Amino acid sequence: MKLRKTPEGKIYLHVWRTGTAYESQNKLLYRNEWTNIKFSVLPFPSTEYVLSCDIRRPLPYPDSTFDAVYTNHVLEHLTPEEGRFFASELFRVLKPGCICRVVVPDLERNCREYLKCLEDCLSNPTEKNIQKHRWAVLDLIDQMIRDKSGGEMLSALKKGDFDAQQVKRTSGDVFDQFLPGSTGEETPAGATPVKQGLLKKLFSSPPRQTVYSLWRAVKLFLYQKDPRKTREANKWMYDRVSLRLLLESRGFDHFSIKDHKGSAIENWQRYNFDKSINGDYPLEPSLYVECVKP
């Protein structure tokens, strides 16, 4: 896929997995000025702007290609061993002296939210506090153990069994479609990838490619309803300490904690991928860190 450049001539790599709110808010900027990879173990068709690939394998770029790398909510969908490999690949394709920005769910933040809700429940077990405690447990655990797409969180959202202020504070714009007053259409968490593109490729490809496409179609059929195989379910979680240890073990240094707006990436304010377009708050509250390839 073509390496895209920013107006300043920089080559930036952008890696993410999925997210309706994230893609709808940031699509126009990242597809035109960044080189884009969308992590998938399923056969999503690639486009002119986005390469769909399995990042558990080597990235398809030469050493020292990019002036910056940004990954959004990817590492948590990899096992620790896969995460170490992926971080090594980010190090490899990044130019010396350049920045890697990593955004993941914040284990520390989730734990603090759970403990606060627990204490509130113990001291004042109202129906509202019990509901907030239940959501905090789901946010901490369901993301990792779910055996159906969307898990128990999606069930709670569909039933309206949540506190809207808590969900907005802890999840930003991610679940806006479920909040009171929303007119947006629900997008199922386990929505099947575009099938028309697969069928078109299947019937217009040479025999060898057709066999490969059939294999991908079978894989799609077998995987699409299992969030552990599609990697919808989280495989690991990180906090400020564990993420620093991971990145430094791969060779990065100058580790720093950022927020949803600040970055040392040149002209980051032009993109602000982690800030909601609806206000001065995070699109999805997370752990934001940056490090440098020496």
Reported as a single tens digit per residue, the pLDDT across 147-166 is: 898 999 999 999 999 999 99
CA 170 from centroid of its chain's CA atoms:
16
Closest among 47, 44, 92, 45 to 69, alpha carbons compared: 92
Q: 91, 246 in Cβ contact below 8 A?
A: no
pLDDT of residue 192: 36
pLDDT of residue 180: 87
Judged by DSSP in three states, 149 sits in coil
Give per-residue burial for 161-181: e unless 16+ CB within 10 Å, then b: ebbeebbbebbbbbbbebbee
Judged by DSSP in three states, 293 sits in coil
Task: Count CA within 13 A, CB hemisphere, residue 14.
Answer: 27
Distance CA 71, CA 55 (A): 11
Domain at 12-105+234-292, CATH from 3.90.320.10, 3.40.50.150, 3.10.20.310, 3.30.420.40: 3.40.50.150
Give, as one character, the DSSP assignment of residue 262: -
Residue count (the chain): 294
- Greater model confidence, 23 or 78: 78
**Looking at the predicted structure, is the pLDDT value of residue 196 above 80?**
no
Confidence of residue 249 (pLDDT cuts 50, 70, 90): very high
Of 12-21, 232-241, 285-294, give the lowest mean pLDDT range: 12-21
Per-domain residue ranges of the chain:
12-105+234-292, 107-178, 195-224
pLDDT of residue 164: 96
Q: How many CB atoms lie within 10 A of CB 213?
A: 19
CA 205 from centroid of its chain's CA atoms:
32
Confidence of residue 203 (pLDDT cuts 50, 70, 90): very low
Reported as a single tens digit per residue, the pLDDT across 92-139 is: 999 999 999 999 999 999 999 999 999 999 999 999 999 999 999 999
- Greater model confidence, 247 or 180: 247
